[in-house]
Structure 1
Amino acid sequence: MTVLFEAGLGKSRSTWALVQPRVAAFARTVVYDRAGLGRSDATDAPRTFEALLRDHLRVLDTMVAGPCVLVGHSYGGPIARRAAAERPDKVVGIVLVDEVSEAAGADLLRRAMGGAGVLYGAQVWLARVGLLGQALRRTYFRALQGPALREVVAESGRVCAARAARSEWQNMIAGMHALEATGPHVPDIPLTEITSRRSSTPEQFDRDFIFQSHKATVDAVTDGRHVSSQSRDHYIQLAEPELVAAEIERTCERLRIRYSA
């Protein structure tokens, strides 16, 4: 069994630095960087959803020969779901980590992420003056230590990485509109959604459109599972790597039993 990881919007393979070694104990793992991020070369082409999907499918076709579980975080969630639909001969299960889904509604996502344009623009400026890496060290990647932290600070602090992240954001809402118009994109294979615990009461869960979009995706498949994290952190794989690795292992073991029966 192979597990292929997909990062979220504007992020590199390093978001999986705490989960991938745990998963490697029971499965073959593949992590990669989309164009312009991490170790990958930059491109001048707009980073549309379809471009990101092509990156993912190229890795899937090149690196994976047998049954595969796709794991996607945030904007990597719809990439993983679309890829599973494109390659039903290879993809046998999906684990989604606080994904950003078209089921939430593209316009609602746009309003909820209204400040993102300023954020990604500021990151380009911080990269130009050599401060982005240190800013990321104290925010997104504060859970990392040692070589993994030094690597992500050096790679994600580059101007080309900041530009790639900004381009992904600039094309995200259009991509979500297209997914919403043509979806739902939910292949009927074993699927787990792991949702950040932003709510604590039934009323809050009812108003949490991200939670509700995850629930709708799970309800759309024959074999679905919905799990909540203990924290409110969107980067559950960094805040609670044991939880994410355990859900991936659960999926892999169930699929191994199914395919060996």
Structure 2
Amino acid sequence: MTEHPRTRDGRLLHRIRRGAGEPVVVFESGIGANRGSWTLVEPLVRAATLVYDRAGLGRSDPDPGGRTVARMTADLLDLLAAEGIQRAVLVGHSLGGVVVRHLAHLRPDLVAGLVLVDQVQEELPHYHQDRHFRLVSLGYRAGALLARTGLLTALLAGRLHRDFPPEAAREITAEELSPGFLRTAATEVRALPGGLAELPPLSPPQVPTTVISAGRTGPVEKKLRPLLISAHRDFAAGLPHGRHVLAEESDHLVPVQQPGLVAAEINRLL
């Protein structure tokens, strides 16, 4: 399939699909991130794969309807339908973990397994702090203004994604530092507390599910990190086929810092 699929309301979703057969390993990125999150993981997976850009991030059309979890899940469902995928192992990082669990709640028949990489745990109070996410969103909007002047690229180009192949690093960096990308990231961040509050209680996945927690504490998550690891352990323990893995050498960016571990957990489910 060469043409990129479209959502039910006509928006183009840029995707890269490799290999044949099912289940297809489908990747869902974290908040304010595109297909680049999986640059180091995807080549290590021993199955057909699909990576894509969420609306407004990278090469996919923006979504005038907003960026709640429900909208993201609807787009992912449209993508699977357009690609004719009937069975998938879904891999979600951060907020992407909630998106793929929401899809599994709505359409369990499509899901063969889940790998949840340092996922958002929506029951934790941190994710409902409206003021915090409003401030983070404003930071992204300020970045979008700087990007329009070219200053952001001058400051950061060549410093990001140094572990990526050079061509991929240039491509992903150019997209991430574009004004449109940063505006969409701001919209996703701002919509997070409300979008989580609107979700129904999600059914515990009945398929094999691996929950990977970052073992290192990032600069702004000293209080959150131990709570998140504990919540991940409890979540996995409550599933019929749950498994918890600690990524001891990573902070939140596990797919970039320990891609081999993430790929190994995906391959376990194939």
TM norm structure 1: 0.84
Sort the Cα spacing of 1:175 and 1:150 in 2 relative to 1 into closer, same or farther, 3 A. same
Structure 1, unmatched stretches of 5+, are: 253-261
Q: Does 1:171 align with 2:197?
A: no
Q: CA deviation at 1:28?
A: 0.4
Identity %: 38
Q: 1:74–1:97: 8 Å Cα contact kept in structure 2?
A: yes
CA-CA distance at 1:84 after TM superposition: 1.2
1:124-162 Cα deviation digits (max 9, x unpaired) = 1222122445537535x3432311101101212211111
Residues 91 and 128 from structure 1, CA distance in 2 versus in 1: closer, same or farther, beyond 3 angstroms?
same
* Alignment of structure 1 residues 143-162 onto 2, 5 Å: 143-162=163-182
In the aligned structure 2, how far is the partner of 1:18 from the partner of 1:191? 21
Q: CA deviation at 1:111?
A: 7.2
Change in Cα spacing, 1:143 to 1:66, as seen in structure 2 (3 Å) is: same
Letter in 2 for 1:138: R
Q: Structure 1 pair 131/14, CA: closer, same or farther in 2 (3 Å)?
A: farther
State the one-letter code of the partner of 1:192: T
C-alpha change, 1:197 and 1:167, in structure 2 (3 Å) is same
Candidates 21, 24, 37, aligned match of 2:57: 37
- Aligned counterpart, 1:138: 159
Which has the higher relative contact order, 1 or 2, with Cα contacts under 8 A spaced 6 or more apart?
A: 1
Q: 1:160 aligns to what SS in structure 2?
A: helix
| TM-score, length-scaled by structure 2 | 0.81
Contact 2:80/2:86 (8 A) holds in 1: no
* Aligned residue number for residue 258 of structure 1: none
* Cα distance change on mapping 1:206 and 1:237 into 2, 3 Å: closer
**Structure 2: distance between partners of 1:112 and 1:191:** 30
Find the counterpart in structure 1 of residue 94 from structure 2: 74
Q: Which residue of 2 aligns with 1:245?
A: 263
Following TM superposition, by how much is the alpha carbon of 1:47 offset from its aligned partner in structure 2, in angstroms? Answer: 1.3
Preserved CA contact (<8 Å) 1:218 1:225: yes
Change over 3 Å in CA distance of 1:237–1:174 after alignment to 2: same
- Work out which of the residue numbers 96, 115, 120 in structure 1 matches 2:140: 120
Moved more, 92-101 or 36-45: 36-45
Q: How many residues align?
A: 243
1:212 to 215, 226, 230: 230
